[in-house]
A and B are shown apart, each in its own frame.
Chain A
Amino acid sequence: MTKKDFNTSLEKANQILISHYESLNTDKDVTSDEQIKSILPFTARKKTGISRHISKKVACILAAAVFTGMLLFLFSGETSAIFFGWIKEQHKNYVKYISPKKNSNSAALKSYTVNYVPKDYSFENAEHDDGSRTLIYTTQSGDVLTIIYSSGEKEVEYYVHSAQSKMYSVSVNGLSADLYLSSDNQTPSAITWYDKENQLFFYILAPLPEEELIKIAENIKQSESALQMNTSERFLDALVKCEKKYYKEALSAHQQKHQKLLTQDTYIVKYQTIDKPVYTFVDYEEKPTAHFIVEIAYIYDTSTETPVKIFDAAISDVYLTSVQSCHFDNGGYNIRVEDNLARISSTGQFGFNDCLTSTQTYASTIRLQELAD
């Protein structure tokens, strides 16, 4: 079974779904069109259209806000506290952490890695946006470990259900943290803390005991390469410039050899080099497959802080189809350039179409040639 088959079946399922509900038109149990028009909301608003709908929504939001305010008044004394821009609201049954919406240290998000999860948990998925990262790990029995870290750049709220939990103040790598230990099997325990230096809020949610939660929390660390190099933004800037300059050149150099592969659905991922196959794509039913070409076209020479083009780079034809997007989230890299040799080692996480991910470690030595102006 291929992804194409799956897409065809989804399309077919959608058609059957539509036909089924459209066929209800003649069903005696269902109300006639005219009756529906007299029942449904918004129907009398043809002239004013969406404006009334919006005003109704606004009214609902205002009402909700007033109601929430009343709840706050009723149930919580101090209710809210501000720590480093994040607002912590204590409600009767839950605690809400609200982002400040003004921090912009999302670059720091990239430098953190999760170095420990309990052995029963395996990586399931990761979602990233400009202001936060969410990592999901699951067990075979269906338990979910959620790790979120957020710069608070965008408007976001995180909830901890506290009705069935007791809150304790603990320490995570010297930072004060709130630990919510659940007393029932239905509610997961949680731990939250704020890293003032990097302006990041952390939130872990899982049905785990205190020791495990703290152990996971203490093992979320900035990668050593990020700490040593501290050039990640400059590195990325250089990459962008380098891409602009050499993209066409790199493309044409391999175009003849890979003409068939260089289709619209083909992406070239830079900064990868492969001595041996590092991609083990999973079965179709688990995650959709995709094909693409991986080549390393240039790297960044950290000694001179300049991009260096790589000739005779290893090329891997990892052939994927229907790729809409692909990202390489470098969990940590180490590039050393000496004479004409570059030693690159990296652990990275790859995602395609936001649903296929794999974490790989690989290393290679490649020959370099400096670029002529």
Chain B
Amino acid sequence: MSKTPTTTIPTFDAIYHTYQNLMFRVAMNILKNKSDAEDAVQLACIKIADNLEKLTDIHCAKTKGYIITITENKAVDIYRQNAKKNHLEYNADFIGFTIPCETDDRLAGCILRLPVLYREMIMLRYYYGYKMKEVADLMDISLANAYKTEQRAKKRLKELCQKEGILE
């Protein structure tokens, strides 16, 4: 008997218990430290709880990607804070932040090769359709900073696309 796919309206509990492991792995991949990863998951949970109404189906790829993006963002925040504390230079192109990808879709490849904050900005704005104010709230940055990040993200994406020959 075939199962009919069902749509589950997400609750915070359901999201948390479905994705807690994935969220922790995302954070650990960036932070390499359990207690920092735990903090990142906690911060991400608060953001997700604040924006539950935006999610429609707990199991869809969009929800999963969104949860990854938010967790990644919070983990990068912590990484940057740690780097600052230890007087280390923050490198957005750090290997742990980039997603190794082999795809025929050259534009998707360019998006994934963006520095993590730029990729998150592009995904939140154009894939999830968030307003700039909402993105600024999610990323805990000022509106002006969000606009600046978006501008840089688009510029970098354009450069990558030109390099790939997608754009002239």
Q: Interface of A with B (CB < 8 Å)?
A: 1, 5-18, 20-22, 24-25, 27, 29-31, 33, 36-37, 39-43, 46, 49-50, 53, 57, 124-125, 127, 129, 134, 136, 138, 142, 144, 146, 188, 205, 285-286, 288, 324, 353-355
Contact B144 A33 (CB under 8 A): no
CB-CB contacts of B102-136 with A at 8 A, as 1s and 0s? 01010110011000000100110111010111000
Q: Can you sample 20 A-B contacts with CB below 8 Å?
A: A12-B105, A14-B61, A14-B127, A16-B108, A17-B68, A20-B100, A21-B25, A21-B29, A24-B26, A25-B25, A37-B21, A39-B24, A40-B38, A42-B20, A42-B45, A50-B49, A57-B49, A124-B151, A146-B144, A285-B154
Contact B154 A286 (CB under 8 A): yes
- A140 vs chain B, min Cβ distance (A): 10
- A138 partner, pick from B24, B46, B108, B151, beta carbons under 8 A: B151
The answer to whether A188 and B112 touch (CB under 8 A), given A30-B29, A285-B167, is no
Contact B101 A16 (CB under 8 A): yes
The answer to whether A6 and B20 touch (CB under 8 A), given A30-B29, A127-B132, is no
Contacts of B61 in A (CB 8 A): 11, 14-15, 18
Give Cα distance in the complex from A355 to B32, angstroms: 37
Q: Interface of B with A (CB < 8 Å)?
A: 11-13, 16-17, 20-22, 24-26, 28-29, 32, 34, 38, 41-42, 45-46, 49, 61-62, 64-65, 68-69, 99-101, 103, 105, 107-108, 111-112, 119, 122-123, 125-127, 129, 131-133, 143-144, 147-148, 151-152, 154, 157-158, 161, 166-167
Contacts of A205 in B (CB 8 A): 144
Contact A142 B131 (CB under 8 A): no
Closest 3 CB pairs of A and B: A9-B107, A12-B108, A14-B65
Contacts of B29 in A (CB 8 A): 21, 24, 30
Contact A18 B68 (CB under 8 A): yes
Contact B129 A353 (CB under 8 A): yes
Contacts of B144 in A (CB 8 A): 136, 144, 146, 188, 205
Contacts of A142 in B (CB 8 A): 148, 151-152
Give Cα distance in the complex from A13 to B118, angstroms: 13
Contacts of B154 in A (CB 8 A): 285-286
Contact A53 B45 (CB under 8 A): yes
Contact B99 A9 (CB under 8 A): no
Contact B161 A10 (CB under 8 A): no
Give Cα distance in the complex from A37 to B158, angstroms: 42
Contact A41 B133 (CB under 8 A): no
Contacts of A27 in B (CB 8 A): 25
Contact A124 B166 (CB under 8 A): no
Contact B147 A9 (CB under 8 A): no
Contacts of B20 in A (CB 8 A): 36-37, 40, 42-43
- B99 vs chain A, min Cβ distance (A): 5
Give Cα distance in the complex from A288 to B21, angstroms: 36
Give Cα distance in the complex from A181 to B151, angstroms: 26
Give Cα distance in the complex from A138 to B151, angstroms: 9
Contacts of B122 in A (CB 8 A): 10
